[in-house]
Amino acid sequence: MSLIEITEVRKSFGTTEVLKGINLDVEAGEVIAIIGKSGSGKSTLLRCINGLETITDGSISVAGAQLLDDEVHLKALRLKVGMIFQQFNLFPHLTVGGNVMLSQTVVKKTPKAEAEATARKMLERVGLGHRFDAYPDELSGGQQQRVAIARALAMQPAALLCDEITSALDPELVAEVLAVVRELAAEGMTLLMVTHEMKFARDVCNRVVFMHQGRVHEAGRPEDVFANPQTAELKQFLGVS
């Protein structure tokens, strides 16, 4: 059994089918880059995996639990996968520590002292242990995104989904966020990341999935996918001919 099993998943918005039968199994510890043009369905796929969107057909299971369209299942699933977005979405009126504690205390009902201990540990992990009492607007964008990563980690997810998490950052802040992701990958975290950072995908990921028009159009090891793309669409996307 794979950690995440995505089988024949379809998703429509109204009459527009955006995911057209996605099959993808993710093993524990795998680091997968999802690449593809804007509009190819990458974000929708991640949102389906953590239950932010309900699927139209097919099935998704995470750690053996099937994603079913009811509240109990959705909640259980969201606890298993963390998601990080392009926008950090930190609460400005809460401290860094308060932000990392919030979903633990609200969603998981973790006692405050335990939530705080976990928050401190996760902030250490992303190199921000000393900023527990700071407010988000006192931090750089790169630091805020690292707080968002700590917040996701604090829920102890089985996998992390990252949707273009460096795209809103000034170029000089991208590296510090990618360094944290690289470390998580080395520690064995299962990661599914939509990214435009091709060099990072090549260096860190063990699989690359190229999406095109709502389908997995090509997939494989980074060294194969980047050096030897098979389809015209991937060649065009990578800018090789």
Helix extents (H) in the chain: 42-49, 71-80, 96-107, 112-125, 141-154, 171-186, 198-204, 222-227, 232-238
Give the residue with the Cβ less far from Mg ion, 173 or 193.
193
Q: What's the Cα-to-Cα distance from 111 to each of 95, 102, 134, 164, rounded to whole Å?
A: 18, 11, 22, 32
CB of 42 to Mg ion, least distance (A): 5
Q: Which residues pair with 9 in a beta bridge?
A: 22
**Residue of 5, 35, 36, 43 that binds Mg ion (CB under 5 A):** 43
Residue 13 binds which entry of Mg ion, ligand ADP, none, CB below 5-8 Å type-dependent: ligand ADP
Contact between 39 and ligand ADP (CB under 6 A)? Answer: yes
Q: Applying CB under 6 A, which part among 42-50, 54-62, 174-182, 185-193 lies near ligand ADP?
A: 42-50
CB of 43 to Mg ion, least distance (A): 3
CB of 123 to Mg ion, least distance (A): 28
Tell me the per-residue interface mask from 176 to 195 with Mg ion, x by CB under 5 A, - otherwise. --------------------
Instruction: Name the one residue in this structure whose structure tokens are 């950090």.
Output: 88
Contact between 41 and ligand ADP (CB under 6 A)? Answer: yes
CB of 180 to Mg ion, least distance (A): 21
Contact between 44 and ligand ADP (CB under 6 A)? Answer: yes
Residue 39 binds which entry of Mg ion, ligand ADP, none, CB below 5-8 Å type-dependent: ligand ADP
Beta-carbon contacts of residue 208 (< 8 Å; ≥ 6 apart): 32, 33, 35, 201, 219, 220, 221, 222, 225, 226
Instruction: Name the one residue in this structure whose structure tokens are 């918005």.
Output: 13
Contact between 40 and Mg ion (CB under 5 A)? Answer: no
Q: Percent helix, strand and coil across the chain, each rounded to 5?
A: 40, 25, 35
Contact between 103 and Mg ion (CB under 5 A)? Answer: no
**Residue of 9, 18, 139, 191 that binds ligand ADP (CB under 6 A):** 18
Q: What is residue 161's three-state secondary structure? A: strand
Q: Applying CB under 6 A, which part among 34-42, 76-84, 100-108, 125-133 lies near ligand ADP?
A: 34-42
Kindly state the tokens that stand for 199.
Answer: 């060099």
Q: What's the Cα-to-Cα distance from 213 to each of 47, 99, 183, 234, rounded to whole Å?
A: 17, 36, 32, 12
Q: Which residues bind ligand ADP (CB under 6 A)?
A: 13, 18, 36, 38-44
Q: Which residues bind Mg ion (CB under 5 A)?
A: 42-43
